[in-house]
């Protein structure tokens, strides 16, 4: 069975490694050239794994470009695997592989179709999710399900921990599904559209911290949009301050201050007033400025004044 693999992110690399380890190395790997790495916050270079595995390598920026589709079609693939590629697969590309095109979605389809499923899972406070392999069709994550693996969501889940859980599940399922397809055991379970929900696109600027929100809400935001994504951020004196980790501060004393005001500091953290007189303890951050943050300074003040 001839296989073409399409991907360009960390999860793609892990999936490719899993296929190679199982003896299912694809015949062709389609990926982004490293000079295009800025397109993805979790970009990964697949070229070395493809080379060692003996797979042909094709660099592409648009999977639907006629020249790219023609180049893939020349290999006469039986199946296409699209694992970590941000573009919609149009009909000409989907028609190339004889048995169809298999995709991955980090959500329990038909729930959470669409974009940024991992951040939205955490932001929505869900307690369980799933990793899904599905047959790509003309809709948005609407194709028949090939395999699905349930995943619990912990109370302190982060984007990184959930990303890793999703990739681990996908790497377990993918070689098994490919082996089943090769053995003519093709699984297709139609989705129930009455159960569908849809995730909206998120952009880096959606990680801006509104300090008038409660500490619990901001804690959830920081966990949801951090590594491997751009992260939650605020401003201080014209400098961007990215907050990598934090927690709700619940112990005494009870701080009274402006939203965004730094109330206390230690060598490893600082505490910030939030909405409803709650407090967030920031435990991981980075900024281009080496200057220390002053007690009672107000984060995000410039944005709040402009608003």
The secondary element (H helix, E strand) that includes residue 56 is strand 56-59
Per-residue pLDDT reduced to its tens digit, 27-45: 999 999 999 888 888 999 9
- Band (307; pLDDT cuts 50, 70, 90): very low
Provide the β-strand partners of residue 168: none
Per-residue pLDDT reduced to its tens digit, 47-66: 999 999 999 999 999 999 99
Per-residue pLDDT reduced to its tens digit, 109-135: 999 999 999 999 999 999 999 999 999
- Band (301; pLDDT cuts 50, 70, 90): low
Residue 305 has pLDDT above 60, yes or no: no
| Report field, pTM of the whole predicted structure over 0.85 | yes
Q: Tell me the C-alpha to C-alpha distance, in Å, between residue 12 and each of 27, 63, 75, 194.
A: 15, 15, 21, 31
Token digits of residue 235: 């401003």
Spatial separation of the C-alpha atoms in residues 199 and 5, rounded to whole Å: 26
Calculate mean pLDDT across residues 279-302: 87
């Amino acid at each position: 069975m001839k296989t073409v693999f399409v991907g360009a992110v960390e999860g793609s690399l892990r999936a490719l490694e899993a296929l190679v380890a199982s003896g299912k190395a694809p015949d062709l790997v389609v990926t982004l050239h490293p000079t295009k790495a800025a397109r993805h916050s979790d970009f990964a270079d697949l070229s070395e794994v493809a080379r060692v595995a003996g797979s042909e390598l094709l660099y592409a920026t648009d999977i639907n470009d006629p020249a790219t589709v023609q180049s893939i079609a020349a290999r006469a693939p039986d199946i296409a695997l699209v694992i970590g590629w941000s573009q919609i697969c149009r009909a000409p590309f989907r028609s190339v592989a004889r048995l169809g095109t298999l995709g991955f979605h980090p959500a329990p389809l038909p729930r959470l179709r669409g974009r940024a499923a991992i951040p939205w899972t955490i932001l929505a406070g869900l307690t369980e999710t799933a990793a899904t392999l599905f047959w790509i069709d003309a809709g948005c994550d609407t194709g028949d399900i090939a395999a699905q693996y349930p995943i619990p969501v912990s109370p302190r889940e982060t984007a990184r921990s959930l990303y890793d859980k999703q990739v681990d599940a996908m790497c377990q399922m993918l070689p098994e599904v490919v082996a089943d397809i090769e053995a003519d055991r093709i699984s297709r379970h139609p989705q129930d559209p009455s159960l569908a929900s849809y995730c909206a696109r998120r952009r880096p600027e959606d990680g801006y911290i509104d300090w008038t929100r409660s500490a619990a809400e901001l804690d959830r935001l920081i966990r949801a949009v951090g590594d491997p994504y751009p992260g939650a951020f605020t401003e201080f004196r014209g400098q961007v301050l990215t907050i990598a980790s934090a927690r709700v501060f619940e112990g005494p004393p009870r701080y009274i201050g402006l939203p965004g005001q730094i109330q206390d500091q230690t060598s490893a953290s600082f505490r910030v007033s939030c909405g409803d007189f709650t407090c967030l303890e920031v435990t991981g951050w980075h900024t281009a400025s080496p200057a220390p943050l002053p007690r009672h300074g107000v984060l995000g003040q410039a944005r709040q004044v402009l608003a």
